[in-house]
């Protein structure tokens, strides 16, 4: 049985227009992750200047951003389902870019914490609007590749942040404190935030060229289209999907935040060294991994496997468990870096599959909101608790900062195994939900 085309009689947007949209969205997503990931290279200077612990730094890297990113996603998802999605992206991107620059003006823990909250609020607008737009530009049998291309953004952004950010940090540290006209004297880490934040304003203006497509996959009028009612009708399925992908996020985000610290503390690498190496790994393995995961899912969907995104995700996660466990523990840095490359490819394969799966089982009227609900749970669990959990285990159970690798390995492996199991169990319910969704126009 092949994938069923949309019931709507209107032609789909041209492939050229569709892929231009994806390219713009990927650039926006990349920019957002540059703003997020740069903090992992600034851990030592921020800790030194502000006099904070690993746990307090993890609150800046995780909770300060994630709590409002998650909570604001729901109302912004509601807006995305009813208003211009391109204008929502423009407003959100300008907001988070300015707030990132303001991180560079913070002089204390509280100021930086509040600026990170502002970054989270702005970035909450992007993904609900992006996933909804992509689903109206691409038919189901080509959607996983498009969503996966968009989902390359986190790894492109993280990789560029590590490569470029590491070099910018090294350059800024060589310059020492810098006097910025109208701002004052800034430490090197503060200057980095200004450099990476402001270009996003220019990128945002490109979305004024994007057209709003016809909305497809609309449930019949009169249907109960409140998000709680819809999720409640398949509560077991959505619980398994949300938790399966979100718990895995604990491993993925914790790696992005703490792997640089593992190499700096355990192997004696500099921020510039690990930034260049890890950034190259993310660009050369995670980025193609994202597309490979989407390509495999689309191929299986075309051949009649309607549960393709769930099956692919679960199998990749099972394969990742030993790699996640061993990589931070290996005593040889060269071998550890090789293992990190393989692990990062697997992480990448999974990045586009949650959005693909969720867009397959909800009507158009809820597509922005379902992504926002997933990000609410996923971000609070992964970004909000993952880095802090790893830091807490290291600080309080394992003896301090030098045990960060042991903590990362333990937390990551347990989270990955639990996630794979939940997604494997969800496959039957997912197949049933897809068959229902195929009847919507």
pLDDT tens column, 246-257: 999 999 988 888
pLDDT at residue 10 above 90? no
Phi, psi angles (nearest 5°) of residue 174 = -70, -30
Confidence of residue 364 (pLDDT cuts 50, 70, 90): confident
What does the pLDDT read at residue 59? 79
Confidence of residue 2 (pLDDT cuts 50, 70, 90): very low
Specify the DSSP class assigned to residue 198: T
Q: Which two tokens stand for residue 253?
A: 């985000």
Alpha carbon distance 40, 256 (integer Å): 8
- Whether residue 10 lies inside any domain: the answer is no
Q: Which residue has the tokens 């909000």?
A: 384
Whole-angstrom distance, CA of residue 289 vs CA of residue 148: 9
CA 109, CA 105: separation in Å to the nearest integer? 12
**Buried b / exposed e along 305-341 (16+ C-beta atoms within 10 A):** bbbbbbbbbbebbbebbebbbebbebeebeebbebbb
Q: Which residue has the tokens 């609410």?
A: 376
Residue from 277, 242, 276, 278 nearest 257 by CA: 278
Number of domains in the chain: 1
Question: What is the pLDDT, as a whole number, of residue 71?
Answer: 82
In-domain check, residue 247:
yes
Q: What whole-number distance in Å separates Cα of residue 21 and Cα of residue 147? A: 11
Q: Specify the residue for token string 């640089």.
A: 260
Answer yes or no: is 4 within a domain. no
Are 344 and 287 in contact by the 8 Å Cβ rule? The answer is no
Block residue for tokens 């799966």: 357
**Within 13 Å, how many C-alpha atoms sit on residue 101's CB side?**
14
Find the range with the poorest average confidence among 143-157, 291-305, 318-332: 143-157
Phi, psi of 92 (to 5 degrees): -65, -40
Look at 84-98, 115-129, 170-184, 366-380 and tell me which has the smallest mean pLDDT.
Answer: 170-184
Decide: helix, strand or coil at residue 191: helix
pLDDT band per the 50, 70, 90 thresholds, residue 400: confident
Would 81 be classed as within a structural domain? yes
* pLDDT for 130 beyond 70: yes
> N- to C-terminal Cα distance for the chain?
20
216 falls within a domain: no
d(CA 63, CA 342): 28
pLDDT class for 4, splitting at 50, 70, 90?
very low
pLDDT at residue 319, as a whole number: 96
Q: Which residues contact 253 (CB under 8 A, 6 or more apart)?
A: 62, 382, 383, 386, 387
188: pLDDT strictly greater than 80: no
Does residue 180 register a pLDDT over 60? yes
Contact 416, 320 (CB under 8 A): yes
Residue 112 lies in a domain: yes
- Report the candidate in 370, 10, 20, 364 with the shortest Cα–Cα distance to residue 215: 364
Q: Using only the alpha carbons of the chain, give its radius of gyration.
A: 21
User: How big is the CA angle at 111 (ends 106 and 112), to the nearest 5 degrees?
Assistant: 70
Distance CA 308, CA 301 (A): 6
Q: Place 87 in a pLDDT band, splitting at 50, 70 and 90.
A: very high
Instruction: Write phi, then psi, for 180 (nearest 5 degrees).
Output: -105, 120
Q: Which two tokens stand for residue 384?
A: 């909000």
H-helix or E-strand spanning residue 185: strand 184-186
Q: What CATH number did the domain enclosing 68 receive?
A: 1.20.1250.20
From CA 335, how far away is CA 315, in angstroms rounded? Answer: 24
Domain-located, residue 1: no
317-322 contacts: CB < 8 A, separation 24 or more? 317/248, 317/350, 317/416, 317/417, 317/419, 317/420, 317/423, 318/417, 318/420, 319/346, 320/251, 320/346, 320/347, 320/416, 321/413, 321/416, 321/417, 321/420, 322/413
Residue ranges with strand state E in 79-180: 178-180
pLDDT of residue 5: 40
Average confidence score pLDDT of the chain: 84
Nearest to 74, CA basis, from 30, 128, 133: 128
Tell me the C-alpha distance between 61 and 81, whole Å: 30
Domain residues for 415? 15-211+225-437
Task: Judge residue 228's burial from the number of C-beta atoms within 10 Å of its C-beta, 0-12 exposed, 13-18 middle, 19 or more buried.
Answer: exposed
């Amino acid at each position: 049985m092949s994938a069923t085309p949309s019931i709507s009689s209107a032609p789909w947007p041209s492939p050229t227009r569709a892929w231009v949209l994806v390219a713009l969205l990927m650039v926006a997503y990349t920019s957002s992750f540059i703003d997020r990931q740069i903090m992992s290279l600034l851990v030592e200077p921020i800790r030194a200047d502000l006099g904070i612990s690993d746990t307090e730094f993890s609150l800046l890297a995780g909770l300060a951003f994630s709590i409002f990113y998650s909570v604001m996603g729901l109302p912004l998802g509601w807006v995305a389902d009813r208003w211009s999605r391109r204008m929502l992206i423009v407003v959100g991107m300008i907001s988070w870019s300015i707030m990132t620059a303001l991180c560079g003006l913070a002089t204390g823990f509280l100021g930086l914490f509040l600026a990170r909250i502002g970054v989270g609020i702005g970035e909450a607008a992007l993904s609900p609007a992006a996933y909804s737009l992509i689903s109206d530009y691409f038919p189901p049998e080509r959607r996983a590749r498009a969503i996966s291309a968009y989902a390359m953004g986190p790894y492109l952004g993280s990789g560029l942040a590590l490569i470029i950010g590491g070099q910018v940090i090294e350059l800024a540290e060589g310059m020492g404190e810098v006097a910025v006209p109208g701002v004052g004297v800034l430490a090197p880490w503060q200057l980095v935030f200004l450099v990476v934040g402001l270009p996003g304003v220019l990128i945002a203006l490109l979305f004024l060229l994007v057209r709003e497509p016809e909305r497809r996959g609309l449930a019949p009028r009169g249907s109960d289209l409140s998000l709680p009612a819809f999720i409640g009708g398949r509560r077991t399925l959505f619980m398994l999907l949300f938790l399966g992908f979100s718990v895995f996020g604990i491993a993925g985000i914790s790696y992005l935040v703490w792997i640089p610290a593992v190499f700096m503390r355990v192997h004696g690498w500099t921020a510039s060294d690990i930034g260049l190496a890890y950034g190259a790994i993310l660009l050369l393995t995670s980025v193609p991994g994202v597309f490979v995961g989407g390509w495999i899912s689309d191929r299986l969907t075309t051949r009649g496997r309607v549960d393709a995104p769930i099956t692919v995700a679960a199998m990749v996660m099972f394969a990742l468990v030993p790699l996640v466990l061993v990589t931070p523990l290996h005593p040889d840095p060269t071998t550890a870096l090789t293992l990190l490359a393989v692990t990062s490819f697997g992480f990448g394969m999974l990045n586009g599959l949650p959005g693909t799966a969720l867009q397959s089982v909800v009507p158009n009227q809820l597509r922005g909101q379902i992504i926002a609900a997933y990000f609410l749970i996923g971000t609070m669990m992964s970004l909000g608790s993952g880095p802090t959990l790893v830091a807490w285990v290291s600080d309080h159970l394992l003896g301090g900062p030098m045990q960060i690798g042991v903590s990362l390995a333990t937390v990551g492996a347990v989270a990955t195994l639990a996630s794979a199991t939940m997604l494997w169990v969800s496959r039957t319910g997912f197949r049933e939900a897809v068959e229902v969704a195929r009847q919507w126009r």
